[in-house]
């Protein structure tokens, strides 16, 4: 059993696991945080998830997720592993977002 909903295409297709595949999974974890713990691809069966990921689809932006954070997710989900953000870049971006003036979200709207 593999956690395919958190895996990048190269891990699904070739069982290749690297720090770049960890970055992909981190992007999925960010998505989970901003969906208050929804399962990634919750509406799909495992074989449909595999098809979506290998065809280049990504998870949609959660309703309460700031664009800047979704941009980090998209940077984690680049199809080519070498084009993904690296851990240091992610840390730098998230640190800067954490220091920025707070943006209040309408979570009830």
Exposed, middle or buried by CB within 10 Å (0-12, 13-18, 19+), for 59?
Answer: buried
pTM of the predicted protein model: 0.90
pLDDT band at 1 (very low <50, low <70, confident <90, very high): confident
Q: What integer pLDDT is reported at residue 65 of this predicted model? A: 94
Domains, the chain, with CATH or none: 4-99 (1.10.510.10)
Residues in Cβ contact with 8 at an 8 Å cutoff, skipping those fewer than 6 apart: 20, 21, 24, 25, 53, 77, 81
- Mean pLDDT over 72-77 rounds to 98
């Amino acid at each position: 059993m593999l956690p395919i909903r958190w895996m990048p295409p190269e891990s699904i297709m070739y069982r290749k696991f690297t720090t770049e595949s960890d970055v992909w999974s981190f992007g999925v974890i960010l998505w989970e945080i901003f969906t208050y713990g929804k399962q990634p691809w919750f509406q799909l069966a495992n074989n449909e998830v595999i098809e979506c990921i290998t065809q280049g689809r990504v998870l949609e932006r959660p309703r309460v997720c700031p664009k800047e954070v979704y941009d980090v997710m998209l940077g984690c989900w680049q199809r080519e592993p070498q084009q993904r953000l690296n851990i240091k870049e992610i840390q730098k971006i998230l640190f800067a977002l954490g220091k920025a003036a707070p943006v209040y979200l309408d979570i009830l709207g």
